[in-house]
Structure 1
Amino acid sequence: MLGLRTCILTRLLSSSRPASSGSSSLHRLLSAAAVAPAVSPNPSFAVEDYLVETCGLTRAQALKASAKLSHLKSPTNPDAVVAFFSGLGLSSADIAAVVVRDPRFLCAGVDKTLGAIVADLTSLGLSRSEIARIFLLGGCHSRSRSIVSKLQYYLPLFGSFERLQKVFYHASYLLGADPEKTVKPNVAFLRECGLRPSDIVNLSTPVPMMLSTNPSRVRAMAALAEGLGVPRCTGMFKYALYAVAFLSKEKIACKVEYLKKTFRWSDAETRIAISKAPTLLRRSKDVLQSRSEFFISEAGLEPAYIAHRPCLVTYSLEGRSRPRYYAVKFLKANGLLDHNRDYCKTVLISEKVFLEKYICPHKEAAPHLAEDYAAACRGEMPTRFRFT
């Protein structure tokens, strides 16, 4: 055991962080988890009770987890693991969450496995709190030494631990993917398609399987994205790729047909709209229907106008499009705004700019406008905007 600790400390001392801080930190972890050298069976040891009383699991969780720990005959190693995680900064609730996700953590060697992983991850520049998050989010993948080489690749790809953490929160399976067989080929291909590293990160956050799926499938998705009329190496291609991600040709065709019918577009207008805003394919039928009813039936916009400005459909109807429409309509009706002012432009600008251009300048002429507009943005649409 002494030899193992010496080895771990040697690796830690060679890390990019100050040696004194890292070595003392790991020393405290190993000291907290120190156990008697001999492990003898304890006839009274009940795994299920231990999981409830020591690890904080519910009885139902403990019953399920204990099936994977039936070989445990003593609390010695589990006690050492719990102490190690506690020393790393995990709370009791965190430790319970780790055990629920992967009960076999309680069988891991503190010196040989967990301590070595902490030392290697520290050498990558991760802090104790970040390493604790890896154990919390990574499940069974975070008790394998292979996690170190994977994080060594992922960290530069995502640019920061914070971004990486967001992906792992929903897709810890990326830690189990083989970078050489899937992730690296997919990243290389996406770069060939003109995506920048930041684009790849933004794409993989909502669709993490884009990195871990079979490379041939990613190439097929790229072909479908091009089929929408969005060429590779254009700024819109990443949105087209997101729009068709893991959808079949049949599913895409159904979505295209629904858009055409709902907005009363011709085939040509439908192609124009999708090529300019491919994420329309990700909108639900209810959302598209409500947008159509408002823009065409209520605001009186022509289908062709919307087709050439499909970004209108992507904004919040309740929090943006409808309140701004009524504010602009009010200003035009009362001679405070040119009737030729294009509605689309009033929707595209930021909230700050809209207030500066369309609300604040009319405080004296329309003292209730700001109040009515704010109410409309909260969903409390007044029957009419008041002029006096």
Structure 2
Amino acid sequence: MFNRPGRSISVLIRLSHIVMNNISSKPFLFLRVRCISKTCSDASQSFTVSYLINKLGFSPESALVVSKYVHFKTPDKPDNVIAFLEKRGFSETQIRQIIKTRPTLLCYDVEKTLLPKIQFFQSRGVSSPELSKLLYYNPRLLSCSLQKQIIPCFNQLSNLLQSDSKAITAIRRNPYLIPCKLDAYMLPNIKTLRDNGVPESKIISMFNYHPRSFVMHPDRFKEIVKEVKEMGFNPLLLKFLLAVIMFRKVSKPAMERKFDVYKKWGWSEQEIWEAFRKYPGVLEASNEKIAAIMDFLVNKMGFQSLLIANQPSIFGRSLEKVIVPRGLFAQDLLSKGLIKDFRLSALFHTSEKVFVQKFVNRYEDKAPALLKLYKEKMDLAYLSCLKCNCEMSLPCRLTYQCFVILVLITIILPPSIGRVGNRENKVIFFKVYTGLTGVWIEDKQQIHIGEEV
């Protein structure tokens, strides 16, 4: 019994010797084996490509790419997998995307591999629509081991967040949580925060929104926490965690590039760090957004650059939805003598409700037509958000931007030019729209500036 491995190795050596000695005199022996193997592989790949095109609507190019990762000779298992997904409400487009991400799912056993995972999540209170969304955005869950990865990771997340539903949310926001070794790369980091005096409630709250930021090598995470603490952040405040997350998300080269942008607007390195202490999000905004906000506030609105450094939370507001509409609207009120001046915080650091109370309702009797336009813009934006579940799709964003620009043109231009339907109005609209969004609309086509047409 104990001589079997040695005997097998001996046979393998002898076989290799025979093949190598005969490869010159009888090469057909070796080539025949290779040809048979290649023919079988080609036939399998050809069937797979044909199946993906005819059954799932893949393009020939996409089907060829996917077929490199999965092979099957009969449609039995793929048909079962597709029927399984269709039964759970997945559309053909969603199934195609799932298979494109995880091609090997087509060869899975539905009863043994896929169904138990579905049943586990349902037993934890996940509804069918939620589960469909979770699996669509994170199809890797279907290829993870239920016993070795899904159940242990899910239980650890549920215990940490004190809720199964919050664990599901965390998994949806960071697909890599499930196969990740949480014992090695997450739980030690949670302990580091606790040891440094960060309240449990704030850890859980921040983890809900930024789960990926807590997953990294513990030694590096300790260095970040130490650095943030040495900068003077109070562990009891939420800003401490925000600063940790920023250092975790933004690499040093990217941080240096952001510093360069701020310095171009006259900020010193010390002033940038002071702004970071007030609002860590100054390092999260993209270089383009930083430059655009500074250009609008300094060159268009006339604010001093260092005044903005003292109120850095403005970099967390939307340029298109908040800063530009409110800024131009306030300037028009100023030009009409309805207000004497305005502060940065009053314009951009308030909610929509407070802004309307301060700048819209207050002057309703003095400029009803002007204020009506702003209310219509606000109502349309609200309805667009409702239709898109508060996450505007591209068409809704474009519709919203178009309406805001039309409102601004009507506000700023004289009545002879600013009428709806006026030809000059349309020309100005396209110029303003292109400047703000980088998109030129011509003959019902959208062309992004900088793209080849």
Does the alignment reach a TM-score above 0.5? yes
Is 1:244 aligned to residue 247 of structure 2? Answer: yes
The partner residue of 1:306 within 308, 311, 318 is 308
The partner residue of 2:404 within 367, 378, 384 is 378
Q: Is the 8 A contact 1:230 1:237 kept in 2?
A: yes
Measure the CA separation in 2 of the matches of 1:166 and 1:60: 35
Is 1:98 aligned to residue 104 of structure 2? Answer: no
CA gap of 1:106–1:326, structure 2 versus 1, over 3 A, is closer
CA gap of 1:252–1:109, structure 2 versus 1, over 3 A, is same
Measure the CA separation in 2 of the matches of 1:226 and 1:350: 31
The equivalent residue for 1:84 is 84
1:186 offset after TM fit, Å? 2.9
Tell me the secondary structure at the aligned position of residue 250 of structure 2.
Answer: coil
Structure 2: gaps (5+ residues): 1-42, 378-400, 416-453
Measure the CA separation in 2 of the matches of 1:152 and 1:260: 47
What letter matches 1:64 in structure 2?
Answer: V
1:197 offset after TM fit, Å? 0.9
**What aligned pairs does 1:114-125 form with structure 2 within 5 A after superposition?**
114-125=114-125
1:154 offset after TM fit, Å? 3.4
- Which is higher, the Rg of structure 1 or of structure 2? 2
- Large movers: runs of 4+ above 6 Å: 374-377
The equivalent residue for 1:142 is 142
1:276 offset after TM fit, Å? 0.8
What letter matches 1:378 in structure 2?
Answer: V
CA gap of 1:147–1:56, structure 2 versus 1, over 3 A, is farther
The equivalent residue for 1:184 is 187
Measure the CA separation in 1 of the matches of 2:366 and 2:301: 25
Q: Deviations over 1:147-176 (max 9, x none)?
A: 23323333565656588458636x433222
Measure the CA separation in 1 of the matches of 2:300 and 2:93: 52
The equivalent residue for 1:360 is 361
CA gap of 1:109–1:232, structure 2 versus 1, over 3 A, is same
Residue identity (%)? 23
Tell me the secondary structure at the aligned position of residue 187 of structure 1.
Answer: helix
CA gap of 1:186–1:335, structure 2 versus 1, over 3 A, is same
Tell me the secondary structure at the aligned position of residue 352 of structure 1.
Answer: helix
CA gap of 1:66–1:190, structure 2 versus 1, over 3 A, is same
Q: Is the 8 A contact 1:312 1:347 kept in 2?
A: yes
Measure the CA separation in 2 of the matches of 1:356 and 1:386: 26
1:214 offset after TM fit, Å? 1.8
Q: TM-score, normalised by structure 1?
A: 0.72
Q: Deviations over 1:102-130 (max 9, x none)?
A: 22222222332223223333322223444
Is 1:203 aligned to residue 204 of structure 2? Answer: no
The equivalent residue for 1:345 is 346
Q: Is the 8 A contact 2:77 2:107 kept in 1?
A: yes
The equivalent residue for 1:30 is none
The equivalent residue for 1:107 is 107
What letter matches 1:123 in structure 2?
Answer: S
Q: Deviations over 1:248-271 (max 9, x none)?
A: 445434433532441x23454333
1:53 offset after TM fit, Å? 2.8
Q: Deviations over 1:359-383 (max 9, x none)?
A: 2232332234315656898135448
What letter matches 2:119 in structure 1?
Answer: A
1:277 offset after TM fit, Å? 1.7
CA gap of 1:103–1:385, structure 2 versus 1, over 3 A, is closer
Q: Aligned pairs, how many?
A: 337
**What aligned pairs does 1:258-273 form with structure 2 within 5 A after superposition?**
258-262=261-265, 264-273=266-275
**What aligned pairs does 1:162-173 form with structure 2 within 5 A after superposition?**
164=168, 168=172, 171-173=174-176
Tell me the secondary structure at the aligned position of residue 83 of structure 1.
Answer: helix
The equivalent residue for 2:442 is none
The partner residue of 2:283 within 265, 281, 284 is 281
Q: Is the 8 A contact 1:183 1:212 kept in 2?
A: yes
Q: Deviations over 1:274-303 (max 9, x none)?
A: 211221122233333333333334433334
Tell me the secondary structure at the aligned position of residue 176 of structure 2.
Answer: helix
Measure the CA separation in 1 of the matches of 2:321 and 2:69: 50
CA gap of 1:275–1:142, structure 2 versus 1, over 3 A, is same
Measure the CA separation in 2 of the matches of 1:52 and 1:345: 57
The partner residue of 1:234 within 234, 237, 244 is 237
Measure the CA separation in 1 of the matches of 2:263 and 2:298: 14
Q: Deviations over 1:14-51 (max 9, x none)?
A: xxxxxxxxxxxxxxxxxxxxxxxxxxxxx999333233
Measure the CA separation in 2 of the matches of 1:132 and 1:353: 39
More contact order relative to length (CA 8 Å, sep ≥ 6): 1
1:240 offset after TM fit, Å? 1.8
What letter matches 1:99 in structure 2?
Answer: I
Q: Is the 8 A contact 1:273 1:310 kept in 2?
A: yes
Structure 1: gaps (5+ residues): 1-42
Tell me the secondary structure at the aligned position of residue 238 of structure 2.
Answer: coil
Aligned-CA RMSD value: 3.6
Q: Is the 8 A contact 2:257 2:287 kept in 1?
A: no
Q: Is the 8 A contact 1:138 1:168 kept in 2?
A: yes
Q: Is the 8 A contact 1:228 1:278 kept in 2?
A: no
Q: Is the 8 A contact 2:250 2:284 kept in 1?
A: no
Q: Deviations over 1:204-236 (max 9, x none)?
A: 3xxx2x233222232333344446553433221
